[in-house]
Copies of this chain bind each other. A is one copy, B any other.
């Protein structure tokens, strides 16, 4: 398949697929959720199951008739059969509690729950996947390896055959004393080079600029097989990831210039 490089291409790709994924939208009781659901239905890019819609939301969705399914918030089993779970207007804690419930939750036993955000940035020629900006405060070595596996899988789903993943740190130096994660980064890079994760390019520690800009890399007189063209960033922890996410979502489309 062709590489999906921006959100427009993603929508176009989805609308051309013959098979549609089923998205369970929990509590679609706000404008943003309703707009997203309406657009998905209008453009035919997903089937929708609404879970726990209030009266107002039900009225909004009435025009779609039988094209939309609806179940009560208590019908967790039905929601769990969907392909994708989407959060509407409810506290994240409440949704995660249901997802993580040991008896009825949907997280397979022993698997890591983490978070990937996708950014489309002006003057960057590809989608950028970032993990984890919202769930794991300080990933352990094992959790970080899972983050890498998940994000590689997602990049490949987007047609990127050999994803480039940058392991983010405030500098390119390995510093065991102050930044022990940089030592773990080198272990991940070695595993990637040994082929453990399939076709991919993993490098780090490196900072945000050298990950996203070849000019920044050259200015520091550094070399990296990522060549300033990262498809994905793995952040050292939630705080730095969250700052990146906050700034990236505050940018209008025509703004950023790397470096």
Contacts and interface: CB of A to CB of B under 8 A. Distances in A.
Interface of A: 122, 133-134, 137, 168-170, 178-179, 207-209, 213, 235-240, 242-244, 246-252, 254-259
A153 B100 CA distance: 47
A248 to B, nearest CB: 8
B247 A208 contact: yes
A208 B243 contact: yes
A244 B208 CA distance: 10
Contacts of A258: 250
A170 B133 CA distance: 9
A69 to B, nearest CB: 30
A240 B245 CA distance: 11
A129 to B, nearest CB: 16
A96 B254 CA distance: 39
Contacts of A137: 178-179
A164 to B, nearest CB: 18
Contacts of A235: 239, 243
A257 B248 CA distance: 10
B170 A239 contact: yes
A228 to B, nearest CB: 12
A257 B251 contact: yes
B168 A209 contact: no
A256 B250 contact: yes
